[in-house]
Amino acid sequence: MLFPLGLGTALSLMGDATLYTVLPTHTADAGITLAGVGILLGINRAVRLFTNGPAGIAYDRFPRRWLFLSALFLGALSTAVYAATQGFWPLLAGRLLWGIAWSGIWVGGATMIMDVAATQERGRWTGLYQIWFFGGGAIGALGGGVLTDLLGYAPAMWIGSALTAVGGLVALFLLPETSGVRELAAANRVNNPHTSGPELVSAKASRLELKSNGELKLAVTLQGVNRFVVSGVISGTIGLMIQDWLQSTGVALGVATVTGIVMAGRTLLGMVAAPLAGTLSDRKSSRWTVVTWSLVIGATGMGLLAWGGPVSLLAGVGTVAISSGSLQSLATALTGDSTGPSQRGRAIGLLYTAGDFGSAIGPSMAYALLPLIGLRTIYLLCGVLFLISLSLVLGFFVRQRAHMSATQASRG
């Protein structure tokens, strides 16, 4: 089940990753001006703020498999639009289609993973699914760039569209429906007298109760902070830090080349960290222990980035990548822990909306603050965000322990 789900997700990223890589340098081929690049590359994230929620509701109400397949083929269509058209407005339409498709793919994929993963294996399954995501983005960026250089902009996009369609075909033949699995699991939990906590309450309820679900609120907060810092601020500004270092040392390397190497290394570390953190959280009595260490590592990494210098910069990027990959996996697993099968689509939609919002506003906030406080101070403030998140997690953990102790005392 993981293979067709993961492969479909990875191949769906071929067109999007290629566009991020080549559009800024192939504006003439796309028929746009440089001023339109930022809008086209960001509009898909903006539209997901409005489509993640409806996608989650749809996955809660209808068979998962056909929604996921529809999203994959819609993604192939969006990439075909990039290949077949020129000009700002057709490309804008393609990017809007991709935003809708990715809501269906990403929300649906995570929801289906939650269906089939037992509680004691949820972290590992989530981490393994993240590998497909990271791998698809990395291969799409590298392969799309190479294909564009060899064949041209439009042929590379056609190949990306075809690969996404292949992923859809593989899922069509191999991906099973998981709604029966979730219904059986819900029945077992409701009928099991030893089951308790928010997951049982959620399984019986039809409405997603965010206010009373502290675990879900924290998972959503962690996702938002993580994506804001890593996908927003760092991804949008790390090239500036590398440029300053290269200019100060006189090293004869291109800024884009070094930035690409650093970002690729970050992706690989995230791929490794996600399943390891997820598996470790399965073996611990609480995922929050692994979350705590991930936040400490993230705050340390931001401090290293702010310190400056080549060794500190590389160490900072590496530690933040480990933290980010871990938190992305753990936030998804925690969402599955804190909600029942009938609500997971909506909960995952909420989780990814928080992440998309954070990654969307991160670059603009960073560049607005840049002339006022400088890049190193911005990185330090991001480290503070990790520490604030850590304090929230520790506070929740203490309250949870106190509640469990009080419950045991009352029973005794």
Q: What domains are there in the chain, each with its CATH number?
A: 2-195 (1.20.1250.20), 214-411 (1.20.1250.20)
- pLDDT at res. 181: 63
- pLDDT at res. 412: 59
Q: At what angle do helices 214-227 and 344-373 cross, to 10 degrees?
A: 40
Q: Whole-angstrom Cα distance, residue 380 to residue 402?
A: 33
Determine the average pLDDT of the residues in 98-116: 94
Q: At what angle do helices 179-191 and 88-116 cross, to 10 degrees?
A: 40
Residue 204 has pLDDT above 70, yes or no: no
Q: Whole-angstrom Cα distance, residue 172 to residue 63?
A: 14
- pLDDT at res. 252: 53
- What percent of the chain stands above pLDDT 70? 87
Residue 189 has pLDDT above 60, yes or no: no
Q: Whole-angstrom Cα distance, residue 330 to residue 123?
A: 7
Q: Whole-angstrom Cα distance, residue 231 to residue 197?
A: 33
Residue type, 165: A
User: Is the pTM value of this prediction over 0.85?
Assistant: no
What residues contact 283, with CB distance under 8 A and at least 6 apart? none
* Pairwise pLDDT comparison (68 vs 117), residue with the higher score: 68
Residue type, 145: G
Q: Whole-angstrom Cα distance, residue 108 to residue 279?
A: 22
Question: Which residue is associated with the tokens 């850590």?
Answer: 390
- pLDDT at res. 213: 81
Q: Mean pLDDT lowest for which of 191-205, 326-340, 343-357, 396-410? A: 191-205
Type and span of the H or E element at 41: helix 37-61
Q: Whole-angstrom Cα distance, residue 130 to residue 321?
A: 13
| pLDDT mean across residues, the chain | 86
- pLDDT at res. 194: 33
- pLDDT at res. 188: 46
Residue 61 has pLDDT above 80, yes or no: yes
Residue 6 has pLDDT above 70, yes or no: yes
Number of CB atoms found within 10 A of residue 127's CB: 28
Q: Sorting pLDDT into bands at 50, 70 and 90, what band is 58?
A: very high
Nearest to 343 by CA among 214, 203, 167: 203
Structure tokens at 389: 């998140």
Determine the average pLDDT of the residues in 8-16: 95
- pLDDT at res. 101: 97
H runs (alpha helix) in 117-234: 122-151, 153-174, 179-191, 198-204, 214-227
Q: Is 66 left (phi over 0), alpha (psi -120 to 50) or beta?
A: alpha
Query: What 3-state class would DSSP assign to 152?
Result: coil
- Longest CA–CA separation in the chain, Å: 75
Question: Which residue is associated with the tokens 């906590």?
Answer: 197
- pLDDT at res. 160: 95
Q: Whole-angstrom Cα distance, residue 163 to residue 167?
A: 6
- pLDDT at res. 64: 93
Residue 154 has pLDDT above 90, yes or no: yes
- What percent of the chain stands above pLDDT 90? 53
**Contact at 8 Å (CB) between 60 and 206?**
no
